[in-house]
Amino acid sequence: MDKLLHVLNVYGLQVVFVGVLLDQGGLPLPSFSLIVVAAAVAANSGAPLWPLLVVAIAATLIADLAWFAGGRRFGAAMLRAICRVSLSPDSCIGQTQRAYMRWGAPSLIVAKYVPGLAAVATTLAGETGIGVARFALYDGIGAALWAGGGVALGAIFHEAVDDVLNELDRLGNFALLLLAAAILAFVAVKWWQRARFKMRIRMARISPAELATLLQQLTKVVLLDARTPERRQRTGRIPGSINIADADHVAVDPLAEIVVYCDCPNDATAAVVARCLKEKGIYHVRPLAGGLDAWRASGGAVEGAPVA
């Protein structure tokens, strides 16, 4: 523990910068705790706290600008990549996207404090094409609140943090084992939740080609759009589809083929909706494989999309 304190005393700014950069860049590192400890060490030694705040904000903005640029350049593909490696893929859909679509750029102010929203929100900001200056303003405020919270906690409770560090030092290698066990337990729980979620959305999909054939051959095909109204307005919809928000008020023929689509990674939102319908006794329901993007790529008609 003495070595850790020595490193934080001598290289605290560099350690915080790298830790925050990697954490905000996507690695599961406890950078907020690192800021708290570094601030406590600085307070105990009488060192100024503002450099820690500046460094943490700078590292956060650099990482977020990278996500923003990726969203602007690669769009939905970048979001799919985030959720593909996320330990909480369900946080990449549903409420996370709805929160950003509802509040827009101002949601970046609180994104760091909402699990699953930070990287998704910055990527969505790039995908939706907001200006760099507007993004930097709201994201900078959010970064300042997040980093400032860590610095404030470390400064206020520096004596308590010092007591914890001394206790860990007393425990020696056993403390490291406890820390490693806690980290492994956290990752194991997240992977278990991920596996359960993936099992829940595992079901037969319908391909765009199969859907096109159904639309040509059958009259009883019900298309449910599981996306937010904002996404529908921005990217268009498959002709004849019904917004899922209105689905409870639509009389669904039990004999109809029901297809649910979205534009999220792994068709997750559509699969969740399809699973819920199946649990209600509606069995002829399948998610559209690849969602709206795959439908458009296969040459399927899309209405309501803005002209490029």
Q: 258 phi and psi, to 5 degrees?
A: -110, 130
Read off the pLDDT of each residue in 9-18 and give the average, rounded to a whole number: 78
Q: Which pLDDT tens digit goes with each residue over 90-121?
A: 545 555 666 666 777 788 888 887 765 677 78
User: Which two tokens mark 282?
Assistant: 């509606």
* Residue 265 near residue 92 (C-beta atoms within 8 A): yes
**CA dihedral angle for residue 2, residue 6, residue 7, residue 9, rounded to 10 degrees:** 140
Percent residues over pLDDT 90 in the chain: 9
Q: Which pLDDT tens digit goes with each residue over 262-295?
A: 877 677 778 878 887 877 777 788 888 888 888 9
Residue 223 β-bridge partners: 259
Domain 208-297 top-level CATH class: alpha beta
C-alpha 20 chain-centroid distance: 17
Q: What is the per-residue pLDDT for 274? A: 82
Q: 204 phi and psi, to 5 degrees?
A: -65, 135
Q: Which pLDDT tens digit goes with each residue over 128-165?
A: 778 888 899 999 999 999 999 999 998 898 888 777 76
Q: What is the per-residue pLDDT for 195? A: 67
Q: How far is CA 199 from CA 44, 106, 266, in A?
A: 49, 34, 12
Q: What is the pTM of this model?
A: 0.63
Per domain, the residue ranges of the chain are 2-200, 208-297
DSSP-H helix ranges across 75-131: 76-85, 95-103, 118-127
The residues near 47 (Cβ < 8 Å, ≥ 6 apart) are: none
Count CB-CB contacts under 10 A for residue 131: 10
